[in-house]
Amino acid sequence: MDFFSAVKRNMTTAAYAQITGRASRSEYWWFYLFTVLVTAAADTYGGTLGNLASLAFFLPGLALLVRRLHDVGRSGWWFLIVFTIIGIPVLFYWLVRASDAGANKYGEGPARA
């Protein structure tokens, strides 16, 4: 999935807050890059605008994180591991890991572009 497809899918369609299904590694990281760029640009124009941008990306970012965890065979509740001491590296590993081949209990694998 390319940059524009990831942004379009997660900001303009039903995937905005969809936590069912799976999301590819490229979809997650392209959307993450988009949120970082937009939030940084908004922060340069004032703290309030940056806060609004962060708030706008919270729900689709969380939903995409859950779908990405589904893609590697983990429950979406595993995102809570980030609140433990060892949680951040473990979560990062799952986010950069390759997708499970074929279908898993969360559905078919994401379409490859």
- 67: in domain: yes
**Does residue 78 belong to any structural domain of this protein?**
yes
pLDDT at position 113 over 50: no
Cα–Cα distance, 104 to 20 (Å, whole number): 13
Evaluate if residue 51 carries a pLDDT over 50. Answer: yes
Note whether residue 103 is domain-resident.
no
d(CA 63, CA 70): 11
Residue 49 lies in a domain: yes
The C-alpha atoms of residue 70 and residue 68 are separated, in whole angstroms, by 5
Residue 107 lies in a domain: no
Backbone angles phi, psi at 31, to 5 degrees: -70, -40
Judge whether 108 lies within some domain.
Answer: no
List the domain range (segments joined by +) for residue 12.
Answer: 3-96
Is residue 113 situated within a structural domain? no
How many domains would you assign to the chain?
A: 1
- Give the confidence band of 112 by pLDDT, cuts at 50, 70, 90: low
The per-residue pLDDT for range 82-108, each reduced to its tens digit, is: 999 899 999 999 999 998 888 888 888
The tokens of 67 are what?
């779908």
Specify if 109 maps to a domain. Answer: no
